[in-house]
Structure 1
Amino acid sequence: MSRVRVVSVALTAAALSITTLAAATQANAAGVRYAALGDSYSAGVGSGSYTSESGSCSRSTKAYPYLWNAAHAPTSFSFVACSGATTGDVIANQLGVLNTSTTLVSITIGGNDAGFASTMQTCVLNSESSCLSAVDTAKSYATTTLPGKLSNLYGQIKSKAPNAKVVVLGYPHLYQVPGSCIFGISDTKRTAINSAADTLDTVIAKQAANAGFTFKDVRTVFAGHEICGSSTQWLNSTTLPISDSYHPNASGQASGYLPSFSAAA
């Protein structure tokens, strides 16, 4: 057989393998009815390419739920995550897409309940002591009030979608400390903000386990890719529009959240 013929056969085989793999991936999702719930981290705020139908919810075609849907072609896909959503907002506005036919659910939630946006604003604009106080307040809320709110929400998800696998994703550290940043807030503030994420993830993981849901910790996969990180940055620092600040960018969604969710879906 000539060299050209060998190469041609090899390329054809490779193409068939890729096609077969793609078909198998989509076949595995046949019958999957997927609902993507949650806040801005699930909506894809910070990654751009927002859909016009989503309005102020800012759902992105680069968000991990949208990317998973595009890759797996489930039987149905309900993308209702919304920027700024709290546990109460999910209960009021998002659970309507769930039913006994739902087989897969993803969610990030809890950061807005604990005052993520206002805490970040305080830490960026005000003194170190003000930042540490705001972080302590957020952590106190996360440990005392948030568990009950998550338990209630998870219970309602379980009631409305009793046959679904529910994947709860956590929040990454925003900063690598010490990191490469010369300017910006102090490492003391950065460490405090990261500790709030630790507290939040601990609470979320416990409540997810109590509900029988799968919790995916994204802190490890984001390590080195945080703001001031040593590798390609997967999180926005202060940027425009301001609402995109301190959220995963397109790389953070595709390389951080998507593989974490895919591993559990």
Structure 2
Amino acid sequence: MPRRVRTALVAFLATVLGVVAVPATAAQAAGENYVALGDSYSSGVGAGSYDLSTCLRSQKSYAPLWAAAHSVTSFRFPACGGAVTADVLNDQVGALSSSTTLVTITIGGNDAGFADVMSGCRFGSTSSCESAVAGAKAFATSTLPARLDATYAAIRGRAPNARLVVLGYPRLFETGWCGLLAMSSYKRTILNQAADVLDGVIADRAAAAGGTYVDARPFFAGHGVCAASPWIRDVTGVIEAYHPNADGYRYGYLAALTAAIG
């Protein structure tokens, strides 16, 4: 049968039967070439079962969980605990290419001094906590935007065909009674407020870069430190302190990402 006749026949049958002929390459196109960038909230610090690198990457983090649940053609995972924006630019964006179709990232918390703020508030006075929080908020609103812009632009340059999905950070604390040795409700409140400021900056710059911002806070609500069923580790986790646990990555971050992009 001549090719033109065969093509016409297929089109006719598709119309009659109410179906659409799908090219053989459509199934391949459905698979994502996914790269997960970012800091410890992407690498999976707090989830356990880490790889042998110094980045504390865990297969229990949201990124490998999402990749396993979807039709992913390829998955690269250079996210690294402790990363700042400069680390993404210097060490991570090399994993991207024009064939990359999806990029996720959490970044900015370490630039704003996450670890120092948390330790200052956990072990220092109320006034030292207030000072640390004020400094972090000032940095987030004045210096961080340009760093985020440069990071997102580099991602766009290396992966021009990819969806950019930027995930924010959860509020870390519930603010009710938490025992005599816990941080005060006031400290926990101002730390949550600082997270809101940071998330607002990240959301704004992600939108400016044409990315999709994923707000993790609603998904972690009721499961912060001091909750009956916490998804955030307390200071007892040492290096894992104030990071999601395995439930936080699965039921918090993964749920948020899935709600945003499927």
In which range does the TM-score fall when normalised by the shorter chain? 0.7 to 0.9
Equivalent AA in structure 2 for residue 85 of structure 1: A
Residue equivalent to 1:12? none
Aligned-residue identity in percent: 54
Equivalent AA in structure 1 for residue 230 of structure 2: Q
The answer to whether the 8 A contact 2:169-2:217 is kept is yes
Residue equivalent to 2:36? 36
Residue equivalent to 2:8? none
The answer to whether the 8 A contact 1:169-1:218 is kept is yes
Where in structure 2 are the equivalents of 1:228-247 lying within 5 Å? 228-230=226-228, 232-240=229-237, 242-247=238-243
The answer to whether the 8 A contact 1:179-1:229 is kept is no
1:132–1:29 distance in 2 versus 1, CA, 3 Å? farther
Q: 1:151 & 1:235 partners in 2: Cα distance? A: 29
Q: CA deviation at 1:182?
A: 4.5
Q: CA deviation at 1:264?
A: 2.5
- Stretches of structure 2 lacking an aligned partner (at least 5 in a row): 1-26
Equivalent AA in structure 2 for residue 246 of structure 1: Y
Q: Which residue, out of 193, 197, 200, partners 2:198?
A: 200
The answer to whether the 8 A contact 2:49-2:60 is kept is yes
The answer to whether the 8 A contact 2:219-2:255 is kept is no
Residue equivalent to 1:163? 161
Q: 2:31 & 2:174 partners in 1: Cα distance? A: 41
Equivalent AA in structure 2 for residue 223 of structure 1: A
Equivalent AA in structure 2 for residue 191 of structure 1: T
Residue equivalent to 2:250? 254
Q: CA deviation at 1:188?
A: 1.0
Any idea what the Cα deviations from partners look like across 1:166-225, whole Å, max 9, x if unmatched?
110000001011244453111111011111100100000000000000001111111100
SS at match of 2:110: coil
Q: 1:143 & 1:30 partners in 2: Cα distance? A: 38
Any idea what the Cα deviations from partners look like across 1:40-92, whole Å, max 9, x if unmatched?
0000000101012xx11000010000111111140000001000000010000
Q: 1:196 & 1:65 partners in 2: Cα distance? A: 25
Any idea what the Cα deviations from partners look like across 1:14-57, whole Å, max 9, x if unmatched?
xxxxxxxxxxxxx69843100000000000000101012xx110
Residue equivalent to 1:98? 96
TM-score (ref. length: structure 1): 0.86
Q: CA deviation at 1:239?
A: 2.0
Which of the two has higher C-alpha Rg?
A: 2
Equivalent AA in structure 1 for residue 226 of structure 2: C
SS at match of 2:235: coil
Moved more, 36-45 or 61-70: 61-70
- Stretches of structure 1 lacking an aligned partner (at least 5 in a row): 1-26
Q: CA deviation at 1:237?
A: 0.4
Q: Which residue, out of 66, 69, 85, partners 1:68?
A: 66
> What is the RMSD computed on CA atoms of the aligned residues?
1.4
Q: Are 2:139 and 1:117 aligned?
A: no
Residue equivalent to 2:24? none
Equivalent AA in structure 1 for residue 146 of structure 2: G
Q: 1:28 & 1:117 partners in 2: Cα distance? A: 42
Paired positions, count: 235
Q: 2:136 & 2:167 partners in 1: Cα distance? A: 19
Residue equivalent to 1:11? none
TM-score (ref. length: structure 2): 0.87
